[in-house]
Amino acid sequence: METLRESLSEKSSSVEAQGNVVRALKASRAAKPEIDAAIELLNKLKLEKSAVEKQLQASIGNGLHNREAFRQNVVNTLERRLFYIPSFKIYGGVAGLFDYGPPGCAVKSNVLSFWRQHFILEENMLEVDCPCVTPEIVLKASGHVDKFTDLMVKDEKTGTCYRADHLLKDYCNEKLEKDLTISGEKAAELKDVLAVMEDFSTEQLGAKIKEYGITAPDTKNPLSDPYPFNLMFQTSIGPSGSSPGYMRPETAQGIFVNFKDLYYYNGRKLPFAAAQIGQAFRNEISPRQGLLRVREFTLAEIEHFVDPENKSHLKFSEVAKLEFLMFPREEQMSGQSAKKFCLGEAVAKGTVNNETLGYFIGRVYLFLVRLGIDKERLRFRQHLANEMAHYAADCWDAEIESSYGWIECVGIADRSAFDLCAHSEKSGVPLVAEEKLAEPKEVEKLVITPVKKELGLAFKGNQKNVVESLEAMNEDEAMQMKATLESKGEVEFYVCTLEKNVSIKKNMVSISQKKKKEHQRVFTPSVIEPSFGIGRIIYCFKTGDEQLNVFRFPPLVAPIKCTVFPLVQNQQFEEAAKVISKELASVGISHKIDITGTSIGKRYARTDELGVPLAITVDSDTSVTIRERDSKDQVRVSLEEAASVVSSVAEGKMTWQDVWASFPHHSSAAVDE
């Protein structure tokens, strides 16, 4: 096994190196044959790497079947207890749409409250709340209209749609798992396909589907060629039908388009962060993986705007000493696994690109741990070079291990100036920040002065259009025009707004470069973006005891903080229970009152399943017992104190250990069977 690991590490390095070669060739616009050859070599290396990877995986074994059973068990409990309900169930449901039932809603609301507290309040962020309906131009600028697609194939007879890569993946996996007749060579080929298919072009994917004779899974009908399907829900704004719009696929764009107002609101100071919680929509082709890949979900996103020349963070020292599982690019490429790093060192060594990115990684870690995510099931994985968008400086995902494997729950990316530049360009509104320079700086500035009198004589009513076009030239265009005018005295010039060329003569415009003193630096800020999939985080709470169906929500996120029940059916006890219930409600503590006559043991089991951390049992008219779910320990407190003890624990002001140390213990092994 160690040999395999070493071999994988070697192969991975070669892939990374060759990947860099390809990118360098593309960047330098090398000749096509040269690039193609380099890509061919890259694919070969990838095949080799993936072959080793698969061998290694097989030799480890992975217990997939246990996972599947556990997952099904969890989903059943979640649905039975109304954590989730398939949406519109009485009408047969809609794939990829789920409701949160009462306990799910309570958990979600607790998570969002804590998110607001931990990020918006404690970091003084500017919260905004923008509509889901978004006009096309915004998503054109962001690139979503053109690029937010998956490849799809259609059953040529019924029209049923499938994700092309899913079909190919399923075909390969099934062959490998169930068809014992295939040759070793064929098996190797299928494994190779699985390894490299992520990088397939539309044509390559289509060719493979044809080659393997893959048909529609439900009907065995032939399939169409793959083609891109845009994942946004489209709609139309207003009644005319002429303003296309989409349901936003993320909340971030609403922040970017408001940058200017927010920057002014913040007193024109950087850095600052804006945040938004809201619904996002993705019209998945055929949603699978139940609650993880859905068509509508809640995102919580932060856009932290920072000077690209200074990405230090004032509060970095507060997180620098944290140690937790990280999985840098290098460790992934060399086949190692995630290991514990000290965050401060990871930033100092350059493993994490900059302090601000590191600060947010630390804050996300603290957030997830405070929510009760197990530190051993949480890791921060760095994107490989080929996973990132070309403009991104660095990107880390907080992944939580669940029955589906490691799930990306939070992405933390340094997106550089990409988004603000894209919207500046499309809208014509500069989304920039200024910095007063300590000393004025001398710069060369382009000066274009159209001679209006001459232009008026030549172009009459069109003068204004020509003037505007001349003034809008960038430095390159203007210097080229200046050169042509000096050599030829005349130049053909395209005026957009007239949609034609006009002839510009030397006397119509003066172009020069003047030295100027600048007192401020104007620049487009970089954006560091932590983006939280709230539903995925909630799904990952379902840890607990794999056998017992018990949800181990920590008090902070538990949907119901406390159950209140009289030990036996008895008017006095019931009255006392109602008084406590009212006190709990008045301090905002969600709870359940259970006055059925069921045995106390059964009632404890019932609340354990819901993940209720505390239970108050009224067994006298002056005092009650409080029981903690995980330890099953009980203390005795007075009737008057009950609500305040529970609320202190629920809000994190007191731990159960504090309670255990302050109140007399109570033992009742007999009833808690």
Count CA atoms closer than 13 A to 92's CA, side-chain side.
Answer: 0
In three-state secondary structure terms, 436 is strand
| Nearest distance in Å: CB 517, its own copies | 28
| Nearest distance in Å: CB 146, its own copies | 17
| Nearest distance in Å: CB 134, its own copies | 7
Could you say whether residue 85 binds its own copies (CB under 8 A)? yes
| Nearest distance in Å: CB 107, its own copies | 11
Could you say whether residue 97 binds its own copies (CB under 8 A)? yes
| Residues in region 425-464 near its own copies by CB under 8 A | 426-427, 429, 431
| Nearest distance in Å: CB 88, its own copies | 6
Neighbours of 535 (CB within 10 A): 22
Query: Dihedral of CA 42/43/46/48: which sign?
Result: negative
Angstrom CA distances, 333 to 5, 61, 195, 387, stand at 11, 21, 14, 13
* C-alpha–C-alpha distance, residues 502 and 497, integer Å: 12
Tokens of 197: 């298919």
| Residues in region 587-646 near its own copies by CB under 8 A | 588-590
Could you say whether residue 75 binds its own copies (CB under 8 A)? no
Could you say whether residue 239 binds its own copies (CB under 8 A)? yes
Closest CB to its own copies among residues 278, 308: 278
| Nearest distance in Å: CB 104, its own copies | 7
Could you say whether residue 234 binds its own copies (CB under 8 A)? yes
User: CA nearest 378: which of 369, 370, 387, 388?
Assistant: 369
| Residues in region 100-139 near its own copies by CB under 8 A | 100-102, 104-106, 108-109, 113, 116-117, 121-122, 124, 126-135, 137-138
Could you say whether residue 254 binds its own copies (CB under 8 A)? yes
| Nearest distance in Å: CB 53, its own copies | 32
Could you say whether residue 143 binds its own copies (CB under 8 A)? no
Task: Annotate each residue in 558-597 with x if it binds its own copies (CB under 8 A) or - if it does not, as one string.
Answer: ---------------------------xx-xxx-------
| Nearest distance in Å: CB 245, its own copies | 8
Helix (H) or strand (E) holding 563: strand 562-566
| Nearest distance in Å: CB 322, its own copies | 19
| Nearest distance in Å: CB 389, its own copies | 23
Q: Interface with its own copies by CB under 8 A: which range of 99-107, 331-339, 378-386, 388-396?
A: 99-107
Closest CB to its own copies among residues 106, 467: 106
- Tokens 């109140």 found at: 663
Tokens of 386: 């080929």
Could you say whether residue 248 binds its own copies (CB under 8 A)? no
Closest CB to its own copies among residues 113, 317: 113
* C-alpha–C-alpha distance, residues 192 and 551, integer Å: 40
| Residues in region 276-335 near its own copies by CB under 8 A | 279, 281, 283, 285-286, 295-296
Burial of 109 from C-beta contacts in 10 A (0-12 / 13-18 / 19+): middle
CB 440 within 8 A of CB 279: no
The binder of its own copies chosen from 423, 536, 552, 627 (CB under 8 A)? 423
Give alpha helix (H) positions in 371-462.
418-427, 452-459
Could you say whether residue 265 binds its own copies (CB under 8 A)? yes
User: CA nearest 632: which of 571, 673, 586?
Assistant: 673
Closest CB to its own copies among residues 63, 239: 239
Task: Annotate each residue in 23-42 with x if it binds its own copies (CB under 8 A) or - if it does not, as one string.
Answer: --------------------
Count CA atoms closer than 13 A to 535's CA, side-chain side.
Answer: 21
Could you say whether residue 233 binds its own copies (CB under 8 A)? yes
Give alpha helix (H) positions in 435-552.
452-459, 463-471, 475-488, 534-539
Could you say whether residue 149 binds its own copies (CB under 8 A)? no
* C-alpha–C-alpha distance, residues 536 and 531, integer Å: 12
* C-alpha–C-alpha distance, residues 636 and 624, integer Å: 6
- Tokens 């001349």 found at: 470
Closest CB to its own copies among residues 217, 456: 217
Helix (H) or strand (E) holding 634: strand 634-638
| Nearest distance in Å: CB 97, its own copies | 5
Q: Interface with its own copies by CB under 8 A: which range of 66-74, 230-238, 339-347, 630-638?
A: 230-238
User: CA nearest 364: which of 378, 376, 353?
Assistant: 378
Closest CB to its own copies among residues 511, 593: 593
Neighbours of 461 (CB within 10 A): 7
Could you say whether residue 258 binds its own copies (CB under 8 A)? yes
Tokens of 142: 């962001």
Angstrom CA distances, 521 to 432, 434, 559, stand at 10, 6, 51
| Residues in region 185-204 near its own copies by CB under 8 A | none
Contacts of 198 (CB under 8 A, 6+ apart): 165
Closest CB to its own copies among residues 88, 494: 88
Binding residues for its own copies, total number by CB under 8 A: 79
The binder of its own copies chosen from 152, 347, 352, 485 (CB under 8 A)? 152
Torsion angles phi and psi, residue 186, rounded to 5: -60, -45
The binder of its own copies chosen from 4, 51, 95, 369 (CB under 8 A)? 95
Helices 2-27 and 32-60: crossing angle in degrees, nearest 10, is: 160
Q: Interface with its own copies by CB under 8 A: which range of 201-209, 253-261, 401-409, 513-521?
A: 253-261
Could you say whether residue 247 binds its own copies (CB under 8 A)? yes
- Tokens 């731990």 found at: 655
Closest CB to its own copies among residues 64, 133: 133
CB 535 within 8 A of CB 297: yes
| Nearest distance in Å: CB 236, its own copies | 7
